Structure 1
């Protein structure tokens, strides 16, 4: 190789390295500079990436196995092997903090409480709780059932016990198991939720945290005997980066809170001071995925409602 050839080769390598570094820096600026937000936050004054643009920040958000989804009871598959989940140390009291992280109210857990059974391939330990809600008790759940959106949804995020963090577990296609609980409005307050509801007033602004009074996971969910009816499917995280490593279990029986308790979540604020409302991702395409159900009484219940309606109409006409 002549000096001229060597020099030209050197310049080419330097130019390649320069443009590669420039491209990387540009990509990093897009990734780091772009902020994701919910649809309720998108406005002329607040230019952030809403759910329709999340794939610009995290390409996985445009994947084919995304969550949440609409659970259509007429199209689910009954699976006898989906037995009742087993809950370990859910009854044990714990002390933790609840934080406004700018997107939701989040409670960190130690991993002491675990779940198994229901075709889960391992023990999964509980790492966090967070919520998704509408506005003052209006529709705000992420998952819907036959198109019905509930006022709120709670996620208890679990990871395989071999992993140390959610981030590490997400590298495993089945590393994360999330339990989804839907909420409905009732006329009276749910005393079991007082610890969380009372704490919300102290975390109005992003970054605020406060200590929770001692509580247990069992206090926050229906009795175990009520948790035998659930939907199961393979999906993703419902916030960027939308990693498709989640085994979803969404329970059919809802948790009851009063209008005032549901509205307390809407008193939290986003970073710009706007009310933290509409903190849910819209339902995503199923893309051929199969949704399973642990018992066969969903169709049976719907059938009974139809039969009851027909009989009522018949008796009314006869009278």
Structure 2
């Protein structure tokens, strides 16, 4: 599983029935110059000393979280007690939602790519048992509009160790679903988690799109970088000689909205 944070003040995502290549016909912003996801070319990223470790507040809480099949993904609603700050972010932000994206069986499923790799598999023969409660919840929401509760859920059960999330990339992008609103601060973490191939198959065979077809490959293809710069934290620079171990196809996206006081 590969993790990313996006910071936004506009979170409206209308129902979509067309292919991603056709989105711009109905949603002009989807044809913009700062669209997401992107392919991160690591040797072209720029070191930014201001990208200090991000501070996660409340992420060890035990929660009862509502999960919904929205017709194109699974969305977990998070309480406002979860916040992030630091990392050169302009304010403190509340966590709003956790989204999941995946491919099909052992095929690629992440949205962002790293040096052209979509990270379908570092295949694991061992299950990530802490992820089983998420898989079970997805089995209870097969159809569009279905909801369920994930009891005693902790984000740290599916995230890599928070202390290991100091290595990340940062760029300006967009939502990855229509209306593709730009002005989004993306943070893509280098550290990943993994699940077994069987666990991934359990995810892909349980849920269905709004059309009734199996919910597979629910990710947007990478978009052109154009004139944008991708920055990297100091921790990425220090760890650049080490290997990158990534998972099967699950991609977790945390949508955050600015905390208004």
Q: Is TM (by shorter chain) over 0.5?
A: yes
Cα distance between partner residues in 1 of 2:96 and 2:29: 23
How far apart are residue 264 of structure 1 and its match?
A: 2.1
1:234 to 172, 182, 185: 172
Cα distance between partner residues in 1 of 2:193 and 2:240: 22
Q: What is residue 211 of structure 2 aligned with on the other side?
A: 272
Between the two structures, name the one with larger relative contact order (CA 8 Å, sep ≥ 6): 2
With over 3 angstroms needed to count, the CA separation of the structure-2 counterparts of 1:195 and 1:35, relative to structure 1, is closer
Whose helix fraction is larger, Structure 1's or Structure 2's?
A: 1
Calculate the aligned-residue CA RMSD, in Å.
1.7
Q: What is residue 3 of structure 2 aligned with on the other side?
A: none
Cα distance between partner residues in 1 of 2:183 and 2:106: 30
Q: What is residue 256 of structure 2 aligned with on the other side?
A: none
Are the aligned partners of 1:233 and 1:291 in contact in 2 as well (CA < 8 Å)? yes
Q: What is residue 127 of structure 2 aligned with on the other side?
A: 189
Number of aligned positions between the proteins:
227
Are the aligned partners of 1:237 and 1:244 in contact in 2 as well (CA < 8 Å)? yes
Cα distance between partner residues in 1 of 2:96 and 2:143: 23
Residues 254-275 of structure 1: CA deviation (Å, up to 9, x unaligned): 1110111112221211123211
Gap runs ≥5 in structure 2: 1-13, 244-261
How far apart are residue 235 of structure 1 and its match?
A: 0.5
2:101 to 124, 128, 132: 132
2:200 to 232, 257, 262: 262
How far apart are residue 128 of structure 1 and its match?
A: 0.4
Larger Rg: 1
Are the aligned partners of 1:77 and 1:293 in contact in 2 as well (CA < 8 Å)? yes
Cα distance between partner residues in 1 of 2:241 and 2:138: 40
2:22 to 17, 32, 53: 53
Instruction: Provide the secondary structure at the position in 2 that maps to 1:212.
Output: strand
Instruction: Provide the secondary structure at the position in 1 that maps to 2:144.
Output: coil
Q: What is residue 69 of structure 2 aligned with on the other side?
A: 100
Runs of 4 or more, structure 1, over 4 Å off, are none
Gap runs ≥5 in structure 1: 1-33, 37-47, 152-182, 303-319
1:4-19 to 2 correspondence within 5 Å? none
User: Is 1:220 matched with 2:189?
Assistant: no
User: Is 1:143 matched with 2:112?
Assistant: yes
User: Is 1:250 matched with 2:219?
Assistant: no
With over 3 angstroms needed to count, the CA separation of the structure-2 counterparts of 1:211 and 1:285, relative to structure 1, is same
Residues 284-310 of structure 1: CA deviation (Å, up to 9, x unaligned): 0101100011131354448xxxxxxxx
How far apart are residue 130 of structure 1 and its match?
A: 0.7
Instruction: Provide the secondary structure at the position in 1 that maps to 2:94.
Output: strand
Cα distance between partner residues in 2 of 1:194 and 1:52: 34
1:86 to 52, 55, 58: 55
How far apart are residue 35 of structure 1 and its match?
A: 6.0
Are the aligned partners of 1:184 and 1:257 in contact in 2 as well (CA < 8 Å)? no
How far apart are residue 223 of structure 1 and its match?
A: 0.7
With over 3 angstroms needed to count, the CA separation of the structure-2 counterparts of 1:64 and 1:57, relative to structure 1, is same
- The two structures have a TM-score, normalised by structure 2, of 0.83
Q: What is residue 222 of structure 2 aligned with on the other side?
A: 283
Q: What is residue 238 of structure 2 aligned with on the other side?
A: 297
1:62-73 to 2 correspondence within 5 Å? 62-73=31-42
1:152-171 to 2 correspondence within 5 Å? none
Cα distance between partner residues in 2 of 1:229 and 1:237: 22
Are the aligned partners of 1:35 and 1:49 in contact in 2 as well (CA < 8 Å)? no
